[in-house]
Chain A
Amino acid sequence: MTSAASNDQFLEPIERALEAYDEPTLRQVAGKLYRPRNQWPAEELRRRCIETLSNAPVIDRRLKELPIPSRGVLRLIAQSRQPYWPVGSLVEWAMTLGAGDGLEAIRTLLESGVLYPQLRTGGNGLVIRGIETWLTQTSDPQVYAPPFVTQRTLREPLPLDVESLRVEASGPAIEADGLEWPLRLAIVHQQVSANPLRRTQTREFFKRDLERLRSDALLGTQPGESLVEIADPGLLAVGLANAVGALDEQGGDLFAGIFPEAWDKGHAPALAEIYASLWKLRGWTPLGGWDMAADASRPLASATLFALSLLSHLPDEAWADPRKLETWVLSRHPFWASKPPAEAGIAAFLLGLAPTLRLVQTCKLPEGGYAVRLSPLGRWILGMHDAPPAFAEFPKTLLVQPNLEILAYRQGLSPGLIFRLSRFALWKTLGAACTLQLEPTIVYRGLESGESLESLLQTLDRYGMKSTPTPVIEALRTWSNKRERITVYPSAALFEFATPEDLAEALSRGLPAQRLTDRVAVVASEGKIDYKNFRLTGTRDYCLPPERCVDVEEDGVTLNIDMARSDLLLETELQRFAEPLDRGTSPARKSYRLTPASLRQARQRGVTIDALTEWFEQRAGLPLSPAAALLLSTTGESVPAEFHRRLVMHVGTALQGDGLMQWPQTRALIHQRLGPTALAVLEADAEKLGKLLAELGWRIRFEAG
């Protein structure tokens, strides 16, 4: 049994709900849960509510006071191993248990403080003003039932007439090994690791994936231990893998996630985990298969759990007829009761999925058909036994062959080993002896997910019936070594020291870094750095836009770098178009110069005037200097330039210049106006112009020489 109220994970949803209750609702709930004798403040009421939930005798008294349908709902929640349920399913259970008003039974549980509204983290500032209001004004309300409360209802059976379900069977009980779905979920995980599953906006798979999963050579086949056909087994496996948390939903698409820890704890915890996820499975029904558009999985989930609960009311050895069970449930379940169909999928579940999950044993009936009863594992999962049954262990179960094929004998497999193998070997066939193939891609993926050559060899040696063949060891070593050739640091921290001695000192003080150059070392994760040993002279974040750290001197070609603000990209960028300048000044500043040679080289490397303009704007906050533009645009190309002999005539005022340009006599003798008071004159015209100006009374003076 879950230890009372000791686990924060179980208490958190209750604390959230109690915080959201307004004071009258809180007082109402506290009043029913532990009946306070004083007028405590709200905070004290919440604290005492939490305390009471871990007080077994008080909880038992409260549970006894509840009407049977309400208590039965808590029992079903406990048997589901799933503390979160939609109110709709609880109402269906209450009505199947005979309650005239199913919602009333649920309201009683909420008001009694043994069931709580499920709220998002933080609660979004929601205030619950009365249970009735919350139930009626919330769209598809969900609730949380604390496991340490619901589990106390398990030992007291409900007054249900189950005798009519019994059937006599004398044949041998058939029980599966329960590994079918752990194997299939591992295959799904393996496939999704290679190719994530995309989904449409309605959370449906694309047609190509639907067809692929339906016809997949491994997932699309029927499990050998199923007594009836399981519809869309490939899609069911994906749905279960998602419900169990082995897939990770990102933006509606499915990626490989992390397998639950329970898988490493053995058969029973792993199967219990898959069982608990059945109730979260959406889009699949035993008769209809995968159909997200016409999803009838929710009422079927509540009905199926009810059927399993009915089986738990029978003695350990008693057999039941699955068709009678289905009829019993359908005739009382409010979703079907008004017009019960011949079948809705409960019997199909009991003879299809349930045996392959090792939830039930089956027995062939002499008159045809099968009888079912909960298996010892099923009885433990549904809370009827304290301990799970023991599973036989055959630790040496792998036969690793020189052709890189692994034969895995099923009786020795465990969910943990299945998952381990899936990380580095490709499942090829399922059967009494499953086969896997070692391939570079999957081995590489295994190494990526944290395995090492040593851990792979260790697994093969530990579970192998014979020592691992040399060709296999060599292949794994080759693939592993190949991986060592290139290392990618996607988000590293680089430590740039002033001197090689500083770097050596930092490493001697335990900086978990790898030396890259004589002054630079890399740390894969910043979390491991003890900053007390360092004084940061500058910090640059490479995911932020480039920082301005360059001053351009007046000449337009000398660039001074502020080393405290510069980054590694800057240095590599500069090397493409500038030459370092050794001025022997402060180490906090470094200089570069743009030269015709450096810009010629830049041009050859594809640096354009636009790229350099952008760089100047980003790094210096200035447009490209005219000198730099000049050097870059003229480098390597012949630009037309001519030298001509001219005389330059300077006049006293701009008005005089304008006059000379306007008067036709003088205008014809002026070659070009250079400025307001400067005019260019051809040597041949100088004498004639001089005479004209002399006639106007100007004094003409020629520069000596």
Chain B
Amino acid sequence: MFPTTADKARIPVKLHRRVCLVQTEDAILAEELLAHRKLASEIVGRLADRILLVRPGRVDSVVQELKKMGHTPQVVTDGAT
């Protein structure tokens, strides 16, 4: 079946919903976080140099651990920080 005119205008995209991410200011900081054993166990992957993918449902423990490490993470929810 051929795409309609409206479909042509639409951009194909794959949506990943309710993803938990940590974005760092630079790649070195991301390395620093991955080197932290307790934190690394909650990270399931590295999407990019500065983007770490957090295990679903573990965000609170990640934020707590970051605070324990002396960081002050900015938690972005519903568009508000």
Contact = CB atoms under 8 A, between A and B. Distances in A.
Does A pair with B?
A: yes
Interface of A: 440, 444, 447-448, 450, 479, 482-498, 502, 505-506, 509, 512, 516-517, 520, 522, 524-528, 532-543, 563-564, 567-569, 571-573, 575
Contacts of B47: 516-517, 520, 568, 572
Q: Which 7 A-B pairs have the closest CB atoms?
A: A572-B45, A494-B16, A535-B10, A486-B73, A490-B59, A485-B25, A496-B14
Contact of A487 (B12, B56, B74): B74
A496 B16 contact: yes
A495 B79 CA distance: 16
A535 B12 contact: yes
Contact of B23 (A487, A506, A532, A572): A487
B68 interface: no
14 contacts: A444-B72, A482-B72, A484-B25, A488-B22, A494-B21, A525-B79, A528-B79, A535-B12, A535-B13, A538-B14, A539-B16, A541-B18, A563-B14, A569-B45
Contact of B19 (A489, A512, A532): A489
A646 to B, nearest CB: 50
- Name, among B66, B74, B75, the residue most crowded by chain A CB atoms within 10 Å (CB to CB): B74
Nearest to A498: B12
Given A489-B20, A489-B22, A505-B11, 20 more contacts: A447-B72, A479-B72, A486-B24, A488-B54, A488-B73, A490-B75, A495-B13, A497-B13, A506-B13, A522-B19, A527-B78, A533-B9, A533-B10, A535-B12, A537-B14, A540-B16, A541-B18, A572-B44, A572-B45, A572-B47
Contacts of B54: 488
A517 B23 CA distance: 12
Contacts of B17: 493, 526, 539-542
B79 A516 contact: no
Given A484-B74, A493-B15, A575-B45, A569 B24 contact: no
B74 A488 contact: yes
Contacts of B73: 483, 486-488
Contacts of A567: 16
Contact of A539 (B7, B10, B12, B15): B15
Given A516-B23, A527-B78, A536 B14 contact: yes
Nearest to B22: A488
Nearest to B16: A494
Contact of A517 (B48, B56, B76, B77): B48
A484 B72 CA distance: 8
Contacts of A537: 12-14
B20 A502 contact: no
Contact of A492 (B9, B20, B66): B20
A542 B59 CA distance: 12
Contacts of A502: 11-13
Given A491-B77, A516-B23, A536 B72 contact: no
A482 B59 CA distance: 19
A488 B18 contact: no
A506 B11 contact: yes
Given A483-B73, A542-B16, A575-B45, A535 B78 contact: no
Contacts of A517: 47-48, 51
A486 B57 CA distance: 19
A513 to B, nearest CB: 11
A49 to B, nearest CB: 40
A223 B11 CA distance: 64
A517 B66 CA distance: 24
A623 B76 CA distance: 39
Nearest to B80: A450
Interface in B38-57: 44-48, 51, 53-54, 56-57
A614 to B, nearest CB: 14
A489 B80 CA distance: 11
Contacts of A571: 45
Given A450-B81, A541-B18, A483 B13 contact: no
A542 B20 contact: yes
Contacts of A539: 14-17
B76 A494 contact: no
B34 interface: no
A534 B10 CA distance: 5
A516 B18 contact: no
A505 to B, nearest CB: 6
A569 B44 contact: yes
Contacts of B48: 516-517, 520
B51 to A, nearest CB: 5
B55 to A, nearest CB: 9
Contacts of B12: 497-498, 502, 534-535, 537
Contacts of A568: 16, 19, 45, 47, 53
Nearest to A506: B11
B31 to A, nearest CB: 13
Given A488-B59, A572-B44, A575-B45, A536 B77 contact: no
Most chain B beta carbons < 10 A, residue from A444, A447, A484, A490: A490
B9 to A, nearest CB: 8
A504 to B, nearest CB: 10
B67 to A, nearest CB: 9
A505 B10 CA distance: 10
Contacts of A520: 47-48
- In the complex, which of the residues A487, A498, A520 has the most CB atoms of chain B within 10 Å of its own CB atom? A487
Contacts of A536: 13-15
B27 interface: no
A375 B72 CA distance: 47
A568 B47 CA distance: 8
A487 B52 CA distance: 10
Given A444-B72, A498-B12, A571-B45, A524 B19 contact: no
Contacts of B13: 495-498, 502, 506, 534-537
A535 B9 CA distance: 9
A542 B74 contact: no
Contacts of A540: 14-17
A515 B17 CA distance: 16
A522 B25 CA distance: 16
Contacts of A524: 76-79
Contacts of A484: 25, 74
Contacts of B81: 447-448, 450
B11 A497 contact: yes
Contacts of A575: 45
B72 A488 contact: no
B78 A486 contact: no
A505 B21 CA distance: 24
Contacts of B29: 485-486
